[in-house]
């Protein structure tokens, strides 16, 4: 595997929402590659998808199909990744996997390029399986990691407002169709989700642990954040909710720092963080929204303010605090495109880090 020439690239799961977004991003970034092959289930084989003005034929994903590529971007689900990922690696392919299949595997780096790029060094120059973190984890840590690096992080409390795009193209279609039905006075009939998603919200559709009360999405945010940050003692708790939004996840975040910082200092750190844009106009009441984040690469951060309920030296709870007065507690609201930075873009950035010839 040579990293000096543009790689032979493959997208596994090309007909899905994330796979198509990968193609869009490759076009937008004008990524260099020797070839691009598209793979999906046998029922999609023979169909075509447009790429750079030309139709590209979708191939059937079968054992051995990936032998002649250098890097494969997987977005076809955990079972496919577990089945064909190790085979591809053994054939000399670098696999960048968007599923949950390898996120807990210590042999497979779990990477957010802006947060823990050094973790890629262990696999640089050789075939490997690299895991893309959960979309909610990526969006959260884009904002939290720079603050943790600057001031330390004692605790984080997160509430998510997750778009249906996280459940794939069929879930997005279901929201559109249910919205039409409800507006026409008919009943919304769920099939992808257990609950109607149009004009509704509900606890994240992942399984709930009867012992802890946490669902899988909430547990992922904790375990993956600990692994990415290299902090097994990280105190983080999440409540994850599906909302009737097509794409882009939002999160309300409350943190307690290890070392006191002023609001001004917090803003300066976030303003300098790669992949983060501050959108915080109090006068115009203009802050991050899923619509503003959709189609963009950066995670938007706003509603940045001290948490007046947390103890502060010389102040009672609820009293105002000046922007230059240090405190430990802060609140913010963030939004990021789940299909882009939360999935497709993150995987492509990993590939670009390994194959500098792509840029």
Q: What is the pLDDT of residues 173-228, one digit of tens each?
A: 999 999 999 999 999 999 999 999 999 999 999 999 999 999 999 999 999 999 99
Mean pLDDT of 119-132: 94
Per-residue confidence band for 269, with pLDDT thresholds at 50, 70 and 90:
very high
Query: Active site includes 204?
Result: no
Per-residue confidence band for 3, with pLDDT thresholds at 50, 70 and 90:
low
At 323 the pLDDT is 81
User: How many CA atoms are closer than 13 Å to the CA of 81, on its beta-carbon side?
Assistant: 25
Please state whether 220 falls in left (phi above 0), alpha (psi between -120 and 50) or beta: alpha
Per-residue confidence band for 73, with pLDDT thresholds at 50, 70 and 90:
very high
Ordered structural domains, the chain, with CATH: 8-133+343-358 (3.40.50.720), 137-338 (3.30.360.10)
- Kindly give, in sequence order, each residue whose CB lies less than 8 Å from that of residue 314, ignoring residues fewer than 6 positions away: none
Per-residue confidence band for 320, with pLDDT thresholds at 50, 70 and 90:
confident
At 313 the pLDDT is 66
What would you report as the CA-atom Rg of the chain, rounded to the nearest whole angstrom?
21
- Kindly give, in sequence order, each residue whose CB lies less than 8 Å from that of residue 152, ignoring residues fewer than 6 positions away: 257, 258, 259
Identified catalytic residue from 33, 204, 240, 249: 249
Residue 314 predicted with pLDDT over 70: no
At 357 the pLDDT is 86
Task: Give percent of the chain above pLDDT 90.
Answer: 90
At 306 the pLDDT is 95
Please state whether 167 falls in left (phi above 0), alpha (psi between -120 and 50) or beta: alpha
At 206 the pLDDT is 94
Residue 164 predicted with pLDDT over 70: yes
Task: Give percent of the chain above pLDDT 70.
Answer: 97
Per-residue confidence band for 2, with pLDDT thresholds at 50, 70 and 90:
low
Per-residue confidence band for 330, with pLDDT thresholds at 50, 70 and 90:
very high
Residue 318 predicted with pLDDT over 80: no
Residue 293 predicted with pLDDT over 70: yes
**E strand residue ranges, 174-233:** 202-203
Residue 149 predicted with pLDDT over 60: yes
DSSP assigned state of 44 = G
HEC per residue, 345-359: HHHHHHHHHHCHHHC
Per-residue confidence band for 230, with pLDDT thresholds at 50, 70 and 90:
very high
User: Kind and range of the H or E element at 223?
Assistant: helix 216-229
The pTM score is 0.94
Short-list 18, 13, 21, CA closest to 37: 13
The alpha carbon of 174 is separated from its chain's Cα centroid by a whole number of angstroms, namely 22
Identified catalytic residue from 33, 108, 135, 204: 135
Residue 1 predicted with pLDDT over 60: no
Helices (H) and strands (E) in the chain, counts: 8, 14
For the chain, give percent helix, strand, coil, nearest 5: 30, 25, 45
DSSP assigned state of 281 = B
Residue 139 predicted with pLDDT over 80: yes
Query: Active site includes 249?
Result: yes
Mean pLDDT of 17-36: 96
Per-residue confidence band for 319, with pLDDT thresholds at 50, 70 and 90:
confident
Mean pLDDT of 277-296: 98
* Residue 231 in tokens: 């902090």
């Amino acid at each position: 595997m040579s990293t000096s020439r543009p790689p032979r690239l493959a997208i596994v799961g090309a007909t899905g929402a994330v796979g198509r977004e990968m193609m869009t991003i490759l076009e937008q970034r004008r990524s260099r590659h020797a070839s691009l092959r598209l793979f999906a289930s046998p029922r999609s084989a023979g169909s075509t998808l447009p790429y750079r003005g030309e139709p590209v034929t979708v191939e059937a994903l079968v054992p051995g199909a990936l032998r002649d590529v250098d890097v494969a971007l997987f977005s076809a689900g955990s079972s496919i990744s577990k089945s064909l990922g190790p085979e591809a690696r053994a054939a000399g392919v670098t696999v960048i996997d968007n599923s949950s299949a390898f996120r807990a595997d210590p042999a497979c780096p779990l990477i957010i390029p802006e947060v823990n790029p050094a973790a890629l060094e262990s696999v640089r120059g050789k075939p490997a399986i690299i895991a893309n973190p959960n979309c909610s984890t990526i969006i959260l840590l884009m904002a939290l990691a720079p603050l943790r690096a600057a001031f330390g992080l004692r605790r984080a409390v997160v509430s998510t407002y997750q778009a249906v795009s996280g459940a794939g193209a069929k879930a997005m279609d279901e929201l559109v169709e249910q919205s039409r039905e409800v507006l026409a006075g008919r009943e919304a009939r769920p099939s992808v989700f257990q609950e109607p998603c149009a004009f509704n919200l509900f606890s994240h559709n992942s399984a709930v642990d009867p012992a802890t009360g946490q669902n899988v999405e909430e547990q992922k945010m904790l375990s993956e954040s600990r692994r990415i940050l290299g902090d097994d003692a990280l105190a983080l708790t999440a409540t994850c909710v599906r909302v009737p939004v097509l794409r882009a996840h939002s999160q309300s975040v409350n943190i307690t720092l290890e070392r006191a910082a002023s609001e001004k200092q917090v803003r300066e750190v976030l303003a300098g963080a790669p992949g983060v844009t501050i959108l915080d106009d109090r006068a115009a009441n203009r802050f991050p929204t899923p619509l503003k984040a959709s189609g963009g690469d950066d995670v938007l951060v706003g509603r940045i303010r001290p948490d007046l309920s947390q103890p502060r030296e010389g102040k009672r709870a609820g009293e105002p605090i000046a922007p230059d007065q240090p405190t430990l507690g802060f609140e913010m609201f963030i939004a990021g495109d789940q299909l882009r930075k939360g999935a497709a873009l993150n995987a492509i950035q990993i590939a670009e880090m390994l194959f500098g010839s792509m840029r």
